[in-house]
């Protein structure tokens, strides 16, 4: 009887706790953002939160090249404030998931956080990508992780930390906005690909290294929210610096191209995967710094050829700079891919969209 009574008490406790939580769910602070030429630039609380977990976890000891190397006052503030919570269950779970190959690492942490609303629940107005969800161990594992992450945010006073640093976030956003220049990148990209998207966003992550991730969310109208999630190029005057106009131009063209190109590669994967042995002929420099497997190479090689041609469309000088940059990385098929893309541009009356022309581009990658 005593055992039954105790069981009822515990059950009642969890029911009441669940009711209170449902009535008063955790909410993230409002994101700090600004807009220029249809591009939203900001510091998103969800992504900032996961970058902090990454910083105090074992992640930097294994994948340190993805995390901030330079010192800044902000990095010091993050470590001082959150290091006492390094043994929180969400950090332990993140270590378990992130230190496994192709799991919660590289682009996956920030990408998954874009799937969440301001209460760290999965959004209901987007289509979840199983390949992304599986990198958190599946949907059940992800839900547990997000619950723990919410508890971490509460226990560590993340909201207060974010509010205290809004001035810092405003500074890095303002500098990045100024360095975007006047070019209408959205018009350029949508005209080239022949497809409109729902939104374009640059997410600044001060705790990341000199990296960029092209993430996207598929919405119900078959359009995507595009995200260039990027770390700073350097620390200047104790502030993370996310690049000058030339660098941001390259990053916008490259990272915003991934959500256009990657789904097409998925669509035609059964066709192009039969040529995966061509990966063996990819130069070591490209395999090490650009793509880790054949599918990544397909996306990266096509995108780098496209962005090079977009640079040529702007001017011979910027085109040559882009070409030499990609050549130095020993991008395979570069000349042949650019030639194919020029043909696409010259025959838009036949090929209204890149999607309609995409099988022709893949023909280039069949050759060893």
Helix 139-155, helix 89-98: angle, nearest 10: 140
Distance CA 132, CA 102 (A): 10
Residue 210: phi and psi, rounded to 5, are -75, 70
The reported pLDDT for the residue numbered 19 is 43
pLDDT of residue 221: 80
CA atoms within 13 A on the CB side of 283: 14
Provide the CB-side half-sphere exposure for 344 (13 A, CA).
Answer: 26
Residue-level pLDDT at 102? 87
The full set of domain ranges for the chain reads: 34-239, 268-365
User: Given this model, what pLDDT does residue 24 score?
Assistant: 59
Angle in degrees, 0-180, between the axes of helices 334-346 and 354-365, rounded to the nearest 10: 150
In this model, does residue 112 exceed pLDDT 90?
yes
Task: Return the structure tokens found at 317.
Answer: 């000088």
The per-residue pLDDT for 18 is: 46
Give 367's pLDDT tier (boundaries 50, 70, 90). Answer: confident
**Mean pLDDT throughout 196-221?**
93
Through-space distance between the first and last CA atoms of the chain, rounded to whole angstroms? 75
| 256-314 tens-digit pLDDT | 999 999 999 999 999 898 999 999 999 999 988 888 899 999 999 999 999 999 999 99
Residue 135 has pLDDT above 60, yes or no: yes
Mention every residue, 6+ apart, whose C-beta is less than 8 A from residue 30: 45, 118
| pLDDT value at 174 more than 70 | yes
pLDDT band at 92 (very low <50, low <70, confident <90, very high): very high
* 320-359: pLDDT as tens digits: 999 999 999 999 999 999 999 999 999 999 999 999 999 9
Is the pLDDT confidence value at 16 over 70?
A: no
When pLDDT is cut at 50, 70 and 90, the band that residue 6 belongs to is very low
Q: Which two tokens stand for residue 293?
A: 């497997």
Residues 6+ apart with CB under 8 A from 15: none
Average pLDDT, the chain: 91
220 pLDDT more than 80: no
- CA–CA separation, 342 vs 336, rounded Å? 10
Name 358's Cβ contacts closer than 8 Å, sequence gap at least 6: 264, 267, 268
Angle at 174 between CA 234 and CA 218, to 5 degrees: 85
Q: Is the dihedral of CA 129, 131, 135, 139 positive or negative?
A: positive
Q: How far apart are CA 295 and CA 330, in angstroms?
A: 17
* Residues 138-156 pLDDT 10s: 999 999 999 999 999 999 9
Order the strands of the 212-219 sheet from edge to edge: 32-36, 39-43, 199-204, 224-230, 212-219, 126-127
Return the pLDDT at 13. 40
pLDDT of 292: 82
């Amino acid at each position: 009887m005593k055992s039954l009574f105790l069981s009822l008490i515990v059950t009642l406790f969890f029911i009441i706790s669940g009711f209170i939580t449902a009535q008063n769910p955790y909410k993230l602070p409002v994101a700090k953002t600004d807009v220029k030429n249809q591009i939203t630039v900001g510091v998103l609380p969800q992504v900032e939160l996961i970058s902090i977990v990454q910083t105090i976890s074992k992640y930097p000891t294994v994948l340190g090249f993805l995390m901030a190397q330079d010192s800044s006052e902000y990095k010091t503030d993050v470590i001082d404030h959150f290091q006492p919570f390094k043994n929180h269950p969400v950090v332990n779970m993140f270590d378990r998931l992130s230190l496994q190959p192709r799991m919660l690492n590289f682009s996956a942490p920030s990408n998954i956080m874009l799937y969440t609303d301001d209460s760290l629940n999965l959004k209901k107005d987007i289509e979840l990508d199983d390949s992304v969800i599986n990198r958190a161990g599946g949907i059940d594992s992800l839900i547990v992780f997000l619950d723990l992450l919410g508890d971490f945010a509460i226990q560590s006073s993340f909201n207060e930390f974010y509010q205290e640093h809004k001035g810092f976030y405003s500074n890095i956003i303002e500098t990045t906005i100024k360095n975007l220049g006047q070019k209408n990148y959205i018009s350029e990209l949508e005209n080239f690909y022949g497809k409109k998207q729902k939104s374009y966003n640059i997410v600044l992550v001060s705790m990341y290294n000199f990296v960029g991730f092209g993430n996207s969310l598929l919405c119900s109208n078959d359009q995507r929210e595009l995200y260039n999630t990027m770390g700073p190029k350097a620390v200047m005057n104790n502030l993370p610096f996310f690049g000058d106009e030339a660098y941001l131009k390259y990053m916008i063209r490259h990272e915003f191209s991934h959500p256009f190109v990657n789904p097409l590669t998925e669509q035609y994967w059964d066709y192009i995967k039969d040529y995966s042995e061509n990966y063996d002929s990819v130069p070591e420099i490209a395999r090490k710094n650009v793509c880790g497997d054949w599918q990544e190479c397909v996306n990266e090689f096509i995108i780098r050829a496209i962005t090079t041609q977009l640079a040529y469309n702007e001017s011979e000088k910027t085109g040559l700079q882009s070409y030499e940059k990609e050549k130095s990385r020993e991008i395979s098929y570069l000349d042949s891919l650019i030639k194919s893309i020029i043909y696409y541009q010259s025959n838009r009356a036949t090929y209204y969209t890149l999607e309609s022309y995409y099988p022709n581009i893949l023909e280039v990658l069949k050759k060893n």
